[in-house]
Structure formats: C-alpha cells, structure tokens
Structure 1
Amino acid sequence: MAEDKVPLVLDVDGTLLASDLLFECFWAGLARAPGATLAALRHLARPARLKAALVAPAGLRLDLVPVNPAVMELARAALAEGREVILASASDRRLVAELARLHGFSERVFASEDGHNLKAEAKAAALVAAFGVGGFDYAGDSRADRAVWAQARRAYVVGDLRAADIPVPPGGEVIALPAKAAPRGLWTAIRPHQWVKNVLLFLPLIAAHRFDIAALASVIWGMVAFSAAASAIYLVNDLLDLEADRRHPKKCTRPFAAGTARLDHGMAATAGLVGLALAVGATLGANFLWVVVLYMGTSLAYSLRLKRARWVDVATLAALYTERVVAGAAAAGIAVSIYTLIFVFPVFIALGCVKRLTELTLATSDARLPGRGYGRADRGDLLNVAGLGVAGALVIFFLYTISAQGRHLYPDTWLMWVAMVPMGWWMIRMVALGWFGKQDYDPIVFALRDRLGLALLMVSLSLMFWAAGLWAEWFGG
C-alpha cells in the first residue's frame, strides 16, 4: 500500500462523535421504552450484549448526534486525498455501519458484535490483522486506545490525555486534536441561574411574618437542597430530551444536545447532586426530606412521561412550583396556610401556560413542539387557561383578605385590596409577554430578572407589610 494511501481509522465514541453511543442509546431508550431499556441492563456484565440489547428500544437518530468538528475535518481531508476512512468502535456494529453510511465513509467497519466487545487490545488485534503494524493512522480519545496507537503509523489524540497515556506509534508521530466537550459545558447544564427559583421557599415565612435568624437559616439550607435536587433533575431531563432538544431551534445548543458536555459526566454529576440534596434534606428533618423526595419523584415522572401530555404538563409544573412553597414551610418548621397554597397554585398554572405560550410563539413552524403535546393551534386555549389562573388567584387573594386569618395578620384590609392592583398588573403582564413571545422560556427566571415586574411585586409586598403593621413595628410610627 502506498504510504500516502494508508487508511485513516477513526474511533467513534468521543472521537468522531462528541458523545457516546452506549449512553445515547440508554437515554433514548429510557425516554421511548423504559421497560425494555431497563430490562437490557441485565447484560451489564457483558458489554457487547448490553450494547446490542439497547439498540432496538433506543431508535437512535444518528443524524442528530453531534460530531467533533476537528475529527470530521480530518476525515474530509483524508477522503479528498483518496484515502479510505474507516470506523473502528466498541459500539454495536449496526450503529457503526449506519454511521459510516451517513457520513460517506468506508463500508468496511470494525465494531462489537456476537458478544465480542471490540475495545482496546481486541480492536488493536483486528486492525493489525487487517492492515499490519504501522499500516493505518488512528484517531482515539481515551486510555483504552493506547493499545491501538501503539500499532498505528500515526496517532491522532482527541482531548487532553497525559503524555504518559499516549504510546509513541511506530511512525513516531502524535498529533493532538481538540475535543468538543469542556468542563464549562457541564456547569452550564447544571443551570446555576435556575437556583434563583428557590426563593419561593421564603414565601411561607413572608406569609407568616417569620423573620428570625433560625427560620431564615433553615430555609437557606433548604434552598441548597432544592438547588441540588433541581439541578439533578435538569441533567436527567436534558439526557432524556436529547433528540427533542437537537430538533429545537434554541434548545439544540444545550450542552448534552450539542456535545459540549459529556453524557457520562452528566450522569456522575446527577448522582452527586441527588446525594447532596438528600443529605442536606435529612439534616432539616423528615418532613422536609419527604418534600425533597416528592419533588424529585414528581420531576422524574414529568421528565419521563407527564411533559408529553397536554394540560397535565402545565398542572405538573404548577405542582412543582407549589412543592417549593411547601418545602419552605417544612424547612422552617411552620404550618403553611391553606390560603397560601390555593393562591399560589393558580398563579403557577398561569405561569405554566405562559411557558408554553412563549415556546409556541417562538416556534418556527406549526408542527407540535418536539417532545410536547402542543401546537400553535393551542395558543388560544393556553391563553384562556392562563387568564383563568390569574382571575382565580385574585379571587382567592380577595377572599383571604376578608377571612378571619387574613384580618388577624393584615388588619388594614383596604391596603390588601390596593396591593391587588400591582399584583394583578404583574400577572396580566406576564401572560401578555408570553403571548407575544417576549419572555424567556422559563417565566420564573424571567420574572426574577424583569425590573418592571420586580418593581410591581415589591410595591404589592410593601403594601402587604403596611397592612400587617410591619413597617410601624420595624421602623416606628
């Protein structure tokens, strides 16, 4: 074989693809056919059989899986030179062969099949049998590729492996290529900006006029637990939503969907965050711990199934927000008022509708939202339900002001009625912004960054404090 026609052999997972087909199949299968996918885990001790068992339930869209630009550029250059580009992977042969056809590479592939896992020394032996020592160039990304690099003419190393992990091939040439994934991608996937939503845990304290240090400290720790739990669920949701996100005009840039964060790192981070949430939750007492567990269970059910059901998803979103309010009361050890719960739930129903309204308004076609049950034809119904949520919340608030509990905590009832004006303005404005697509995809995050909206809420809250006599108590007068 002429030296300039030596074939270029590419590893798949983490090299050609900025992802891993084993984990892609697992999460795609868990979203589509959770029973069959979990049943496949009985083959955990036999990697090749596990990979084969996961292919069918996954129904993986390989055309959507992100590639590593640097490796794809290398492959295109080799094809332009008339060289054969061959895929060699420990992934299942069916997927590797389909991937080769998809990208116009050689029909000759090396992959796992018939219970034989083609990895490390097994892959090196197969390539040497086909091309001889030094008869191929090889691109890989992990320590498992050391055995293959040692037999190649030229080693292409994707990512930041230590020099000690890279043997010098017979040709003596090692070339570094950048990986697409980076630590920053995982941090983005954790969504620390979403932690601001956990200020909802303070609502029971505000409603009960509890501002002592012990209660505040407990709620802050509760926010830590809920932040960890929420981030874990965000990671799981993104892993389950890989295909839908890749088909979405904006969500396609999410780290796992785009390949800027590794799936295995996301899975490890999920386990760590769940452990942190449960550990902190346990220190705050059994009631709070049960709320955390309920929140994570509801969120998981939402990610797996409920978010695809029209109207059920909006009700579930409202329930998840409401659970934060219950958690705040549990953390502080106070009883949450039934009026508080039946007031905030319709507010959150309205905001759930706003979330879907925003997505539909910004959608680029009339097709149903990927992974959701709504299309543009549902905008009118969502607006109506949002309006009912706003009206219901205001009616409940009014009834509270004339209740015995309301009159006890807020003696100046007329000020509570005045507070309903900026409160109603805020809710109606949120719905209108969602209708016209002038909001973020998450209305709670948007609300906590919206200056005018925050000003309206502060005015309403100040009037409530005035009605309760708190300003006079704190500052005299």
Structure 2
Amino acid sequence: MTADAFTVDPKTADLKTADPKVSGGRVPLCVDMDGTLLNTDSLIECFFAVIKDWRVMFALFGWLLKGKAHLKQQLALHARLDPALLPYNSGLITWLHEQKRLGRRLILATAADHVIADAVAKHIGLFDEVIASDGLNNLRGSAKAEAISRHLDGQPYAYAGNDFSDLEIWRHADSAVLVNAPKSVCKAAAEVTRIETRVDDRIPWTHALVKALRPHQWVKNVLVFVPIVTASALFDFAAWGDALLMFFAFCCTASAIYVVNDLTDLAADRQHQRKRHRPFASGALPLYHGPIVVPGLLLAGGILAAFAGAFHVVVLYAVCSVLYSFKLKSLPLVDVFMLASLYTIRLFGGGEAAGYPVSLWLLGFSSFLFLSLAIVKRVAELMALPTDRKGKPAGRGYKAGDIEILKLMGVASSFTSCLVLALYVQSDLALGLNKLDQTYWGIVPLMLFWQCRIWLATARGKMHDDPIVYAAKDPTSWVIGGAVFAIAAIAHLPI
C-alpha cells in the first residue's frame, strides 16, 4: 500500500496531505454513494421512509419479484428522500472539492436508483456525470464495474468505496480511495489495486449504539418502584426484587422502541435542532444495526417481565409505544394522552410485579401529573422551533400558535394532580395509618412546588424536551424527591 495522500483524523477531523503527487494521474474519479459519499444506505433509508404506509408495504413483495433494480426504483419514487436531509461524509466532500478545484473529472457511480442519485448529485454540485441503477439494471459489484467501463470507453479510473462489494470495481480500477473502510477491506483492496487515498472519520459504532439505546431515559422506569412506596411496603425485599426485574424489562423494551422510533422518524429528527445529532439520524450508526438489536431487546424485556410475573404489561407497553411511534405522535392531544398512558403503564407494571396493585387514588394523581409532563414536552419542542419551520414542528400535529392553550392545559393538570393528592392525604385511606400520618401533608406543597418549577423552566426556554430527564439532572429535583421519600418513610414508621 502506498503512502496515504489524505486522511481524516477521527478525533480532530483535520485534513492531512501526505504526498500531493499521489493523485491517480488525475484519472476520472468514480465515487460510490451508499456508505461512501453518504453516511447511510439510501435503500434502507427509503424502506424506513415508507414503512408507515401499509399500501407500499403490501406492494414490496411484488416489486421484489420483478428484480432488485425495480424494487429500488419504486422505493425511491415512493420515499422521495430529501437530499438536503441525508447525512454526508464531510471529510470526503472536502477532499472532493479539492479534486474538483484541480480539474479532476468526478462521477457518481452507485447501485442506488438514479432518482436518488440524480437528486444527491444535484444537491452536492460536484459531479460531472451520474452512473446509477435504472429500474432494470442493478449496478452492484461486477455490473457496476462493467457500467463504469462502458461509460468511460475503457479508460483508466479511480474508484472511491467502502466495503467488500466494491472489490470487483477495484480489480479494474487504476487506484482506490478507501472511505471509512474496515481493515479487512483495506487489506483486500491493497491486494488488487493501488491505494490512492484513505478517508477515516467515523467514530466507533459501539459508542453510537449505546447512545442510540438512550440509557439516560431509563430514569423514567424508576416509576415501577412507586407502588411499593405508596403501599407501605418499604421493607418487602421480595417485592423490591420483582420490581427491579420490571425496571430492567422496561429498560430493554423502551430502548427497542427508541430505536424503532429513530428509524421511522429520520426525516423529522434531521430537521430538529438537537435530534439531528442522534446516531441514526446523523449517520454515526448504520441503519442496519437497528433491525438487529430490536428483536434482542424485546426478547430480553419479555423474558425479564415473565420472570417478574407481569409479561402482559410489557406487551401492552410495547404495543402502545409502537402505535405512538407510527401514528399517534402526529395527532394533537392524542399524543400527549398516550405519553401520559405510557408513564402510567410503568406504574401498573411495578404494581403487578411487586404484588401491590395501583390504587385509584394513585391512578388519578399520576394521570394528571403525567399529562402535565407530556404537555411540557410538547411546549418545549414548540418553543425551540426554528423561525424557518413555518410554525410547525416536523412530524407533529401542533403549530407555534398552540403554545398558550397547551400551557393552560398543562398547568391546570399540574394543580389538579396536587388537588387529588391533597384529597387522598385527607381521605380515610391515608388517615389512621399511624400516629405520624399527618406528615403526608408535607408531600403536597413539595409536589406543587416541583411542578410549578418545571413549568417556570419551560416558560423560560430552559426545559429539556423530556421533563423527566431534565429532573434527573436537576439538583433541586433530587432534593425534593429525597424529601418526598423521607416523608413517606416517616409516615409508615411502625409507631
């Protein structure tokens, strides 16, 4: 392998030129698109873009019977990917700009359908020509090599690629440009052609995968322990053990749903100021990892829930979450009620596993509380909406003008939840537990103060789009939570 002419340091992404003479003799450069120019696979992008359309999903098998090239064409036509939203390899594009400045002929040569390839080439504005699949011919491997050879009348060329499917092209190429290629691919390519340049700027996929599971969101699953506390069973260690199983069951299931949500909401996430940095949306994690990890996570969650004796609750949570991801999240008001329901299901799961069913009092309090928090999430999203979005967040059914009425609904829900809590504290169910039951009243102002503080932070534009995650990082929320737990423990002392 010859010395690299160009590399991208994965830590600093600084461009380093080793030998300006190494340029492949300025032969035309053919650039692959999927995994090379793009940090994603356009075919998988198309699939997830249409997965919510049941009519397209029913037609998939028929398209495939007519050949993969036909399948690619139909998916491209129905998906209508916006090239401006796709994740590009910035390091490679920087180098291509330099090659273009030096007068090199650049050709986009891809197995993707020409509908997508033409749109990407037009968006980038660097390529002189495009070679792509056309609905009849699937230009992959040797077929692409033949198409490039015909297009260039047999003249030598360099080819930029990233995986083993590109080896057949490199066998016929004058030189290779390796883009985020594994070491095994680099070694194989070096055996069949000369390496002109390497571009390496992708972070390890393992780090991106962990981030995609959103472990910081697992704090929501602490709700499974609430029924034990409210049932005066703080010293029932068997119940805590079963609830712990449910905690991990919800963690696995929720992470699976987060992955599904990210895969089916790529376009909307890429238009969001913060969500565009998520592993799948940014291209840091290849899309095919999603369908691999989701079944494993769901299986693990189901097994843990079965051992805890609440398998049906996790199934209900998974079904509701999928419905939310695929459709309900775009329906105004329906979405926040479903979000509140998902919080409440965690309570039911903990109660079922621990053997302490959720009371109607707890259900009433939590329903209003979770509805308020769900509305906080939507208000925060609307407040963070860029001015160029025409007043509507992508993938949502709200407009910027809905903020005031949503705030009214949310604050009203907060005060109602505390009213229900106050009525419970005064009820016959709470009174008479022991001589210290009066301490329960201390929880009411603490909960009201916490919710008012959450809404004040939201109104000031300081709210994370998920209030539970915000609270987990907020020291004041931890102090309030500790005080509430202490009051509940004191009230249940055997005096």
Is the shorter-chain TM-score for this pair beyond 0.5, marking a shared fold?
A: yes
Amino acid at match of 2:232: H
Match of residue 14, structure 1, among 29, 32, 35: 35
In structure 1, the partner of 2:224 is 201
The residue number in structure 1 matching 2:384 is 362
Partners in 1 of 2:339 and 2:311 — Cα distance? Answer: 20
Tell me, yes or no, if the aligned pair for 1:410 and 1:464 is still in contact at 8 Å: no
Give the SS at the match of 1:90.
strand
Give me the whole-angstrom Cα distance separating, in 2, the residues matched to 1:103 and 1:200: 48
Shift of 1:116: 2.4
Report how many residues are paired.
467
One-letter amino acid of the counterpart of residue 243, structure 2: V
Separation in structure 1 between the aligned mates of residue 154 and residue 354 of structure 2, nearest angstrom: 68
- Counterpart for residue 93 of structure 2: 72
Aligned partners of 1:319 and 1:345 also within 8 Å: yes
Over residues 97-156 of structure 1, what are the superposed CA-to-partner deviations in whole Å (9 max), with x where a residue is unaligned?
221122124453222223322111211222233336671110111111111111111111
Q: Deviations over 1:215-257 (max 9, x none)?
A: 1111111111111111111111111221111111222211211
- Contact 1:219–1:328 (CA under 8 A) maintained in structure 2: yes
CA distance in structure 2 between the aligned counterparts of 1:342 and 1:139, rounded to whole angstroms: 61
Residues 1:239 and 2:263 are matched in the alignment: yes
Amino acid at match of 1:318: A
The CA deviation at 1:37 is: 3.6
Does residue 1:344 correspond to 2:366, yes or no? yes
SS for the counterpart of 2:329 is helix
User: What one-letter code is carried by the residue in structure 2 that aligns with 1:197?
Assistant: K
Residue 213 and residue 417 in structure 1: after superposition, are their counterparts in 2 closer, same or farther (change >3 A)? closer
Aligned to 1:157: 178
* Letter of the structure 2 residue corresponding to residue 451 of structure 1: P
> Paired residue for 1:388?
412
Counterpart of 1:257 (choices 281, 288, 291) is 281
Per mean C-alpha deviation after superposition, the further-off stretch among 162-171 and 293-302 is 162-171
Q: Distance in 2 between matches of 1:332 and 1:160?
A: 50
User: Which has the larger share of helix?
Assistant: 1
**Residue in 2 that maps onto 1:248:** 272
Greater mean alpha carbon deviation, residues 417-426 or residues 11-20: 417-426
1:152/1:386 CA distance change after superposition, 3 Å: same
Stretch moving more, 96-105 or 175-184: 175-184
Query: Residue 298 of structure 1 corresponds to which residue in structure 2?
Result: 320
Residues 26 and 104 in structure 2, CA contact (< 8 A), matched pair in contact too: yes
- Distance in 2 between residues matched to 1:171 and 1:133, nearest whole Å: 17
CA contact (8 A) 1:358 1:440 kept: yes
Secondary structure, counterpart of 1:152 in structure 2: coil
**Aligned partners of 2:30 and 2:159 also within 8 Å:** yes
Give the Å deviation of 1:168.
3.5
Q: Alpha-carbon deviations, 1:171-190, whole Å to 9, x = none?
A: 53353211535312222111
1:15-72 superposed Cα distances (whole Å, 9 cap, x missing partner): 00011101111111224x3431453244456422221221233121111101111221
Normalising by the residue count of structure 1, what TM-score does the alignment of the two structures yield? 0.92
Spell out the pairing of 1:58-457 with structure 2 (5 A cutoff): 58-106=79-127, 108-131=129-152, 135-163=156-184, 166-168=188-190, 172-180=194-202, 182-183=204-205, 184-210=207-233, 211-285=235-309, 288-365=310-387, 367-409=391-433, 412-457=436-481
Give, in whole Å, the separation in 2 of the partners of 1:148 and 1:284. Answer: 54
Q: Comparing 357-366 with 251-260, which one deviates more in the overlay? A: 357-366
Question: CA contact under 8 A between 1:240 and 1:304: conserved in structure 2?
Answer: yes
Counterparts of 2:155 and 2:197 in 1: how far apart (Å)?
A: 15
Name the % identity.
Answer: 34
Q: Is the 8 A contact 1:238 1:256 kept in 2?
A: yes
CA distance in 2 between partners of 1:355 and 1:343 (Å): 19
Residue 461 of structure 1: aligned partner = 485
Secondary structure at the counterpart of residue 404 of structure 1: coil
What TM-score do you get using the length of structure 2 for normalisation? 0.89
Change (3 A) 1:186 1:441: same
Letter in 2 for 1:302: Y
Task: In structure 2, give the amino acid aligned to 1:207.
Answer: T
CA contact (8 A) 1:10 1:139 kept: yes
Q: 1:179 to 1:89 in 2, by over 3 A?
A: farther
The CA RMSD measured in Å over matched residues stands at 2.2
Structure 1 unaligned blocks of 5 or more? none
